[in-house]
Structures are given as C-alpha cells and as structure tokens.
C-alpha cells in the first residue's frame, strides 16, 4: 500500500501512522459545547465500508499530517490532502 | 525397490554425483536432483508416515504442492522438519530423515492409529470437547499429541541469517515456464523493468530473456497484499549450511503482475490411494523428463482426460511396462487408444481403479470394468490424473472468488485484483482436453484420501454431510480438509467435487477454493529477518553511555533507551547501590542522565497559544527565563503526560515530556498545530537527541556547578532562582542551558549541552565534584526519590487516571480552553470516590510493599468485591523504609486510616497506613538547601 505524500511523493504505508478518522468535526465553541457533542467526537464511530476520510501521520518521513480518503474495504487510496 | 535411473535422459548433471543420507543410509544422486527424484532413482518409495494414521507414504507430486513426502532435513540447530522432499535440492553431505514414525519407518508402532481410526475421524475433536474436561486433558490430548502430528522443530535457536529486500518493477511475471518467459519478454518491449520469478531451481537450458528482464529463480511469490507482493528467495537452501544468508524476503512493488503459475494436477480418488507408488501422472512425466528417473517398473495409468495419454509412450520409452490404461470415460478417446495401441497396452474404458493393492508399496491395482467385473493388474506405480486446476492462489488472497468452467472442469480466476492478469495454463488455456469430471466412484474397500497431509478421507466428508455440514467452509472446518501446510493444493477441488456429488449440488454452485497467504510454508525467521535478539530494534544509548559503562553501570531498557540503572561498587546488589546513591544525593551531590525525557523545541509568535491549548494549566503569564510544570490531557479528559516547559524567549519554549511518551506527545502536538489549529504560526522540532541533559542534585549541586560555569555568578540564587532557566557557557566556552528544577526534591539543576559533550560533561562533573563526594546515580535511585516525593509517573499516568486521581486537579484552568477540558469535567471523572493518589507505609516494620498489590479496608473479606485500589509504585527508601504510592478509592480523605495491602500472587498480606503522597520533606525546604 502506497500513500502519495504531497511533500515526499509516493511512500510505503509503513512510513505512516493511522491515527483517527477525519469524518468528525471537533466541537469548536470552546468548552461550551454539550458533553454529548464531545462524547460523539471522542467515542462514536460509524465503521462503515467504502470510502472514508482518515488522518495519517507521515512519522517516518516529513511528519506531515495528511487527510487520506481510503476505501476501507479494498484499501484503495482515493485522495490525499493536507488537512 | 522399484524406481530407477534411466540410462539416458533428464536435465540433471550426470557428470556430477552427489552423496547424501536418508534415515542414516548413504545414497548417491546427481547435481540437479531433488531429494525426491534422487531417492526414487535409488528405488526408495517409502518417505514417511502420515499425520493421524501413521500410514506409509511416498511421493505424490514433483513440486510445491507435495502433501506426502515431508521430511526432516539437516542436523542440529539447522534441522528443519516438514520439508517437502520434492523441493529439496540435494548437495554433498545432505542428511534427511523420515518423520512422524515411532521406531522404524517400515514398522511404525503407532500404525495402530489405523485401528483406532474411529477415534480420529472428522469431528472427533469437537465431540470430545463436550466430554468431561478431565478426560480431555489427562487422556485424549496427550495421546493424540504424541500420535498425530508431523516433524518436530530442533528446539534450538535458528542459526541462519535471513535478509529482507525490496524489488521495484513495472511488471512482475510469476512463473518462468514457457508462458511466463513469453509474457516477460512481451512485457519487456514496453515496460522498462520486468521481474521474472520462478519457484524452482534452474535446470537445463536457461530461458532466453530480454535485457531488461531480471530473473530470480528459487523464488516463490507467496502472497499479494494491497498492491505489493511478498516473495521468498531461497539463497542457500541448496547448499551445505554455511555463514551466508539462507533466505531473503523480497517485497516486490510492481506496476502490474502477470501470473504464469501453470496448473496443479488433482488426483483421482480410490481405495488406498495414498500407498507409496500412487503418483500424479504429470509428476511421473516430470521425473522422467527432468530427472531421468522412472518411479516404477510396471505402471497402471488412470485418467479421465487426454493429457496423460503422452505419458503412456514416455513410460514405454523409459523402459517401464505399462500394464493397463484405465479411463473413467465410456469409450475413452481416440488419443488414448492411439497412444495405448502404439505402446501395446490394453485400455479399460468406462472403468475405475477401485483400490491400490499392497502395503508399504503398491503391488497392483484392482480395476472395476464398465461391465462391473473386477480384475487385478500387477503394478508398482499407479500414475493417475483427475485433471488440472489453474494455480490461481494469488488471485484469491484479496478475496476474489474463483469461478467454475464446466468445459475444462476446473476453477478459473474470477475478478482479479487491480493490475493482475493471468496467462497460459493458469488461465485455463489448453488444459484438460476431453475431460469428464470424475470425483469418486463410491465407497471402496480401504480409505480413499482426499487430503493426504491432514489424513481426510471420502468417508470423513460423507460423515460431515451426514451431520449436516453441507457448505464447503463448514465441511472444511469439520474435517480439517485443506488446513494443513499444503493448504489442500491437491485436495480442495476434489473435496468440492465429492461434496457436490454427495449432496446432489452442482460444483459450480459451490464457493471455489480461496487461499490465504502464504502460498507455501515460510520460515518465521525469513519474516523476522535481522530483527531478532539484540537487533530486535535499534538500541538508543544516552550521551553518557560510555562514561557509565566505564564505571561498570548496570543498564536497563526504558522505552527505546538503554539507561544506567545503578552503579554498583564492590559487591553491592542493586538495592544497596541504589540506596547509597540516594544517600549521596540527599547528603552531598549526585548526577543522573535525564536525556531520555522528550525535548520539543517550540518556536513562533503563537508558541504560547499552542501551550495554552495543549496544557491544562496556564502559560500566558510565564516570564522569559522561567520554567513551569505542566499537565496534558487527552481529548477524552484523562491525563496523558506531564513535564516541565521552559520559556527561553518570548517566542521560544522547550518542552520536556516523559521518556515513555516522548513520541506520542510530539505527534499529539503536531496534530494540534497542523490539523486542529493550522492558523497558528508555530514550528515544532524534537530535540531529544540534540541535547545531553544531566540532572545535578543535592545540597552541594550549586557548589559543583559554580566550578563548571564560565561565569559562576550567573547561577547564584539571585540570578537563577528555583524554577529559573538560562543559557550560559561552561568549561571554557561550551554552550549550555541550565534549568533549576528538581525531581528528587533536593536543590537540583538540569544542565544541557550539545549531545556530543555528554560524556565530557559527566567526566567534568566527576572532577569538579570530587571534593564534595559526588557520584552518578541511576534510574533505581531516581525512582526511589521520585516515590519519596510522591510524584506521579508512568505507573500512575496509566491512561486511566484523571487530574483529580493524580492530585493535580488544581492545575485544571478555568480561564481558558484546552484539550480535554470538556470531557474532564464529566461528573464521573470528578467523583471523589474514584481511586486517587495516596502514599502507603507498612504499620509493622519489615513488611514490604510491592507494586501491583491490592488495597482493601482493614477488616474486609479478601474478595474482589472489597477491592478499593492498588499499589502503583513501591520503593525501599534508605531513610523511610518500605513506602508505596497507591490509587485508593476516596484516598485523599482517608489519610491516617489503616488498610490491608493484599498481594495474593506473591503471598503478601499486611496492614499499612494511608499517608500523603509526599513522604520525604513535605515542606519542600530541601529545594533551597
Ligand atoms: Zn511526507
């Protein structure tokens, strides 16, 4: 599996670390958001098949954070963006 | 004795004899022989005993699919069991042994398993599990483990060296037969880099390849993963054991891939079809043509398609008498009749071989003719073929389903993974002309084996069906069919055919066999490569390692680091050394390498904003030249890490993290800076390895450092108060940073110099501190002082504790937003009844607190229901004796209470008093001593 880092070019997946999905938005209104919003952000995952957006960290390379769209059923990398 | 070497023919090098041993007996073969071909040439037919029933077994195939001829090769630590004799190239001095026998190979005493067969039939394990467990543990398992099974590992460390490498190519071609060579040369016209791999040893003329085709023989592509291929190159398996690498794991990054993997033959099923001398027809042809070996002297050829017709003439030409051709097809075919007529052999059309005759070797074939009459024909070789199956394992590794092609009675590749194509026989081209599928001709006398390696018979499949298992996957699990190391290469399609026939289904309706990696067994050593023992991962040494080593320090792994644990003097054990080191620090002055704490340089106009958001406590008002303790939470509100951060200028900070979390905190900070708040103008850099940092602690620490500082007045108390920091030069111009912070509770300074000066700084401290009685201290002394001072560390920051639990709730700022704030405010996380940090001290002198012990109310029964917490850290303090830190329910409110410390694993059970976490110098006066 290869990820095309915008800075480093196509690199093996072992250089990257998957950290979390990028489908959820972090509550932005400081600490005022209800606990339910935070709980949803921290804990709830849909775990759906198909194309999903994920955060990958180029730990063994340029240390960029990337937003990667990946088909979690086939592992096909569909898109790589900077966050 | 039946097989023999033909006078001429074959591709082996007849000018180069090779001597080897099998079961202690000396034999001779030729260069190019496999162990199987050389033994067959010497008339050996019996190679081993089977898995469950200890039945005599010979060679079935001539290749990677071999389920029967599994042997143990080489000696001592190099011994490798379960090696396919068909894949072992002989060399001078090779020694091999048959396996899974008790006593001699010809008189295996465990062959009695055959009589216990009903106990070992399919499903036995499942049913037995329902019987009383004691029966299983004491009786069945030991007996079955001893009786069933294959070879045994040497039990010694693997002495071989393995390599890993990556090959990049535009086109990978798997298989260097005629189809593969043609595909490689065709691809080479447009693809700059073509890689051709072949599983077998080169024998005979080398393939003619275009210049841009790289050829790797003895290389098996055993898996396909997400666009990459994994291959095993056998570098020296064909040579005597030596110092060079044995195998190489090759990761192949290929633009596209062409499978030219050919087709594997499946046997026809009949009674005693596992007798030595029953072989696949194509394997017989291979032994004749490739090795110049005739596997028998009198043959019966049993077939259901036209391909083996050629074998009739080849056997006759080799001097093997073909006594009968048995064709399941009514009327047989013109091709078969013609070949048989040319060789003068009778053809029995519409007939089947019902069983092989003979015990340790085939002595004949029993044939049931079309009219039902039965006759026996003498033979020491039954060459049989039920048709070929395209070898498409690699197409199925990613989940694609094979599809049944009725015209060739075989499964072909279905949907292919992206970039993969299949050519030649692997695509089903030209295979099985005239075939009429034949699965089994009924229940014959004697076992008919479907899966030879796992000893699964037609009767086992019938039993599975009778018990209601009719889906192939269920039958597979119930009978273990296809689950041996050969993955049922010769068994899977026959099993589906038999199942379809028994259940009245069409084979096309059944799910075709899908394989999992690896295609062939791969040594764990090859997957591990060089990463074992001391090379399991890189060793990270501190900048004072050399200094510590010269003083005889004992080292310990801490996270990725090797740190000095203690510096024993004379006959001191770890505890005596650590306690002496503590006393030196508390009484005089000591120093310790703390480089392993993560150091992150944070720069930019928004550096302080980032700190405000990632730390729970406030940073905006921290003046330049000051240091502050910080607590970091995770988004879920639990404590993540702690450490000190110093403000070097308005826009530059240097953060320290714990040793264990250094990488994680760096990743977290970058996530915050780049993903959550990309608008922040801040840059982050890990500088852990750039600075050697030493903690100098004790009442004489300032006196020692004054001798090192180029301008001593810069570090006096007025210039550098507690929690101050600054840049300076030491030892005549060496740049340094000094931080007046303390982990030990004593007056202490951390001094940082460029990493290359680490050993030099340690030596300079020893020289400058000699008059004060200075000594280095290790992680044990550090730990004792940490626990004396009640600082939470790794055992308390365990991912399940909150700021409240750790006694750090005062740090949670109410004036700002920070990571984890909202979730940390959840009522359950602030519940005072949660286990929280306290100190413990035994009531009775002599009792020793151990980390991991449980804490219960004094009079409560010793049950889980009354468990109120645990000892997280424990130390043997030279001044206080045994002390501990514990996480105790409602802890801070229970100071003075006597609780029970219970350690059922290590038989500890005594009373202890709950005390404040800080047990040494609670007023903190020693910081200024
Ligand atoms: Zn990169």
β-strand B449-451 against B456-457: which pairing, if any? antiparallel
Res B111: pLDDT: 61
Helices (H), B748-801: 758-769, 779-788
State the smallest CA–CA distance between residue B637 and chain A in angstroms: 10
Residues B340 and B342: their CA atoms lie apart, in Å, by: 5
Name the residue among B57, B110, B102 with its Cα closest to residue B84.
B57
Q: May I ask the CATH architecture of the domain B830-927?
A: Beta Barrel (2.40)
What's the A11 CA to ligand 1 centre distance in angstroms? 8
The shortest CB-CB distance from B674 to any of A30, A39, A83 is to A83
- Give the CATH number of domain B265-387: 3.50.50.60
3-class DSSP state of B325: strand
Predicted TM-score (pTM) of the model is: 0.86
The set of residues, in sequence order, having a beta carbon less than 8 Å from that of B923 and lying 6+ positions away, is none
Report the pLDDT value the prediction gives residue B488, as an integer from 0 to 100: 94
> What mean pLDDT, rounded, does chain A reach?
91
Interface contact flag, B635 A19, Cβ < 8 Å: no
What CATH code is assigned to A1-21+48-83?
3.30.2270.10
Residues of B with CB under 8 A from a CB of A: 225-228, 253, 398, 418, 635-636, 667, 670-671, 674-676, 678, 817, 821-823, 825-826
Q: Write down the pLDDT at residue B533.
A: 87
Q: What is the pLDDT of residue B125?
A: 55
- Which residues from B are below 8 Å from A19, CB to CB? 667, 671
- Residue identified by tokens 């899966």 is B451
* 3-state helix, strand and coil shares in percent for chain B, rounded to the nearest 5: 25, 30, 45
Question: A28 in contact with B at a CB cutoff of 8 Å?
Answer: no
Q: Is the ipTM of this complex over 0.95?
A: yes
The answer to whether the Cβ–Cβ distance between B823 and A64 falls below 8 Å is no
For residue B620, count other CB atoms closer than 10 A to its CB: 10
B823: chain A residues, CB-CB within 8 Å: 35, 38-39, 42
Instruction: Give chain A's count of helices (H) and strands (E).
Output: 1, 6
Joined together, the tokens standing for residue B619 give: 């940073």
Name which of B225, B674, B817 is nearest A65 (Cβ-Cβ): B674
Query: Strand B598-603 relative to strand B683-686: parallel, antiparallel, unpaired?
Result: antiparallel
CB-CB contact of B348 with B377 (8 Å): no
Q: Give the contacts of B7 (CB within 8 A, at least 6 positions apart).
A: none
**Strand runs (DSSP E) across B514-658, as ranges?**
540-541, 554-558, 561-566, 590-593, 598-603, 627-633, 639-649, 652-657
The string of pLDDT tens digits covering residues A49-73 is 999 999 999 999 999 999 999 999 8
Instruction: Give the pLDDT of residue B46.
Output: 93
Ranges of residues in chain B with a pLDDT under 70 are 1, 102-103, 108-150, 441-444
CATH code, B540-595+691-777 = 3.30.1360.120
pLDDT in the model for residue B102:
66
The architecture (CATH level 2) of B4-126 comes to Roll (3.10)
Q: Please name the residues in contact with B571: beta carbons below 8 A apart, sequence gap of 6 or more.
A: none
Q: Which chain B residues are within 8 Å of A23, Cβ to Cβ?
A: none
pLDDT, position B443 = 63
Rounded Cα distance between B88 and B112, Å, is 30
Closest CA to B461 of B453, B450, B452, B447: B450
List chain B domain ranges: 4-126, 265-387, 540-595+691-777, 598-686, 830-927
CATH code at B598-686: 3.30.70.1400
**CB-hemisphere CA count at 13 Å for B82?**
18
Q: Which of A42, A61, A66 to mutate to test the interface with B (most CBs of B within 10 A)?
A: A42
d(CA B128, CA B120): 11
Ligand 1 midpoint to CA A9 (Å): 7
pLDDT at B2: 85
């Amino acid at each position: 599996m290869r990820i095309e880092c915008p800075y480093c070019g196509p690199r093996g997946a072992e250089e990257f670390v998957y950290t979390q999905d990028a489908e959820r938005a972090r509550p932005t209104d400081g600490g005022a958001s209800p606990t339910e919003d935070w709980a949803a952000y921290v804990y709830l995952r849909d775990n759906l098949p198909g194309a999903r957006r994920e955060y990958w960290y180029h730990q063994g390379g340029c240390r960029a954070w990337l937003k990667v769209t990946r088909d979690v059923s086939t592992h096909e990398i569909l898109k790589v963006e900077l966050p | 004795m039946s097989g023999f070497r033909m006078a001429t023919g074959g591709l082996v090098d007849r000018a180069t004899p090779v001597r080897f041993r099998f079961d202690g007996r000396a034999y001779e073969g030729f260069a190019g022989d496999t162990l199987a071909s050389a033994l067959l040439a010497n008339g050996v037919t019996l190679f081993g005993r089977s898995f469950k029933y200890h039945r005599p077994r010979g060679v079935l195939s001539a290749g990677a699919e071999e389920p029967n001829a599994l042997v143990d090769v080489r000696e001592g630590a190099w011994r490798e069991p379960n090696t396919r004799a068909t894949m072992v190239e002989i060399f001078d001095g090779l020694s091999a042994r048959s396996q899974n026998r008790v006593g001699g190979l010809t008189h295996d005493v465990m062959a009695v398993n055959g009589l216990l067969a009903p106990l070992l039939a399919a499903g036995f394990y499942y049913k037995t599990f329902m019987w009383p467990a004691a029966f299983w543990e004491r009786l069945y398992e030991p007996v079955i483990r001893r009786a069933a099974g294959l070879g045994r590992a040497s039990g010694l460390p693997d002495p071989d060296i393995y390599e890993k490498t990556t090959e990049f190519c535009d086109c990978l071609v798997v298989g260097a037969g005629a189809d593969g060579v043609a595909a490689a040369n065709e691809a080479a016209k447009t693809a700059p880099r073509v890689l051709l791999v072949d599983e077998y040893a080169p024998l005979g003329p080398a393939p003619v390849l275009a210049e841009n085709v790289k050829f790797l023989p003895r290389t098996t592509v055993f898996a396909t993963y997400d666009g990459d291929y994994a291959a095993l190159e056998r570098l020296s398996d064909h040579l005597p054991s030596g110092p060079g690498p044995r195998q190489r794991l090759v990761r192949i990054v290929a633009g596209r891939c062409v499978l030219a993997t050919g087709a594997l033959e499946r046997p026809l099923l009949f009674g005693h079809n596992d007798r030595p001398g029953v072989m696949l027809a194509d394997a017989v042809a291979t032994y004749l043509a490739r090795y110049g070996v005739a596997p028998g002297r009198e043959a019966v050829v049993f077939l259901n398609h036209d391909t083996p017709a050629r074998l009739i003439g080849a056997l006759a030409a080799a001097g093997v008498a073909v006594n009968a051709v048995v064709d399941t097809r009514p009327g047989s075919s013109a091709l078969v009749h013609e070949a048989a007529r040319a060789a003068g052999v009778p053809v029995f059309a519409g007939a089947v071989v019902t069983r092989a005759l003979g015990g340790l070797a085939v002595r004949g074939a029993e044939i049931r003719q079309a009219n039902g009459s039965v006759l026996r024909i003498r033979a020491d070789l039954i060459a049989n073929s039920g048709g070929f199956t395209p070898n498409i394992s690699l197409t199925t590794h990613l989940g694609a389903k094979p599809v049944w092609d009725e015209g060739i009675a075989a499964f072909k590749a279905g949907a292919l993974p992206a970039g993969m194509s299949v050519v030649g026989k692997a695509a089903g081209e030209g295979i099985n002309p005239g075939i009429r599928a034949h699965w089994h001709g009924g229940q014959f006398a004697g076992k008919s084996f479907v899966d030879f390696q796992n000893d699964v018979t037609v009767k086992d499949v019938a039993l599975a069906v009778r018990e209601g298992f009719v889906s192939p996957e269920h039958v597979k699990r119930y009978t273990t069919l296809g689950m041996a190391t050969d993955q049922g290469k010769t068994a899977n399609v026959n099993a589906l055919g038999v199942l379809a026939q028994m259940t009245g289904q069409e084979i096309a309706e059944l799910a075709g066999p899908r394989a999992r990696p690896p295609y062939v067994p791969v040594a764990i050593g090859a997957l591990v490569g060089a990463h074992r023992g001391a090379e399991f991962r890189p060793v990270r040494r501190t900048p004072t390692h050399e200094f510590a080593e010269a003083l005889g320090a004992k080292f310990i792994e801490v996270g990725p680091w090797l740190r000095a644990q203690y510096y024993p003097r004379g006959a001191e054990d770890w505890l005596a050394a650590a306690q002496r080191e503590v006393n030196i620090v508390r009484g005089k002055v000591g120093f310790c390498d703390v480089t392993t704490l993560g150091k992150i340089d944070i720069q930019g106009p928004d550096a302080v904003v980032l700190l405000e958001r990632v730390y729970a406590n406030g940073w905006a008002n921290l003046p330049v030249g000051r240091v502050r303790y910080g607590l970091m939470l995770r988004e879920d509100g639990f404590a993540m890490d702690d450490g000190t951060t110093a403000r070097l200028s308005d826009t530059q900070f240097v953060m320290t993290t714990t040793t264990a979390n250094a990488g994680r905190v760096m990743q977290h900070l970058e996530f915050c800076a780049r993903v959550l708040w990309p608008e922040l103008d801040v840059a982050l850099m890990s500088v852990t390895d750039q600075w050697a940092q030493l903690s100098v602690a004790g009442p004489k620490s300032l006196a020692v450092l004054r001798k090192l500082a180029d301008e001593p007045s810069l570090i006096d108390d007025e210039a550098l108060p507690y929690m101050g920091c600054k840049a300076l030069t030491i030892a005549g111009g060496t740049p340094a940073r000094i931080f007046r912070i303390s982990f030990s509770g004593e007056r202490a300074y951390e001094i940082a110099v460029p990493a290359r000066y680490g050993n030099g700084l340690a030596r300079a401290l020893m020289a400058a501190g000699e008059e004060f009685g200075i000594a280095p201290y290790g992680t044990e002394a550090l730990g004792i002082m940490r626990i004396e001072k009640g600082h939470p560390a790794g055992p308390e920051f365990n991912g399940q504790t909150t700021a409240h639990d750790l006694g750090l709730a005062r740090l949670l700022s109410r004036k700002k937003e920070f990571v984890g704030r909202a979730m940390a405010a959840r009522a359950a996380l602030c519940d005072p009844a949660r286990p929280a940090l306290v100190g413990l001290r035994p009531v009775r002198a002599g009792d020793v607190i151990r980390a991991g012990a449980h804490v219960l109310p004094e009079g409560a029964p010793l049950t889980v229901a009354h468990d109120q917490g645990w000892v997280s850290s424990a130390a043997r303090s030279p001044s206080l004796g045994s002390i501990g830190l514990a996480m105790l329910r409602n802890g801070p409110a229970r100071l003075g209470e006597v609780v029970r410390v219970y350690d059922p694993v290590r038989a500890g059970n005594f009373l202890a008093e709950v005390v404040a976490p800080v047990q040494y110098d609670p007023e903190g006066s020693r910081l200024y001593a």
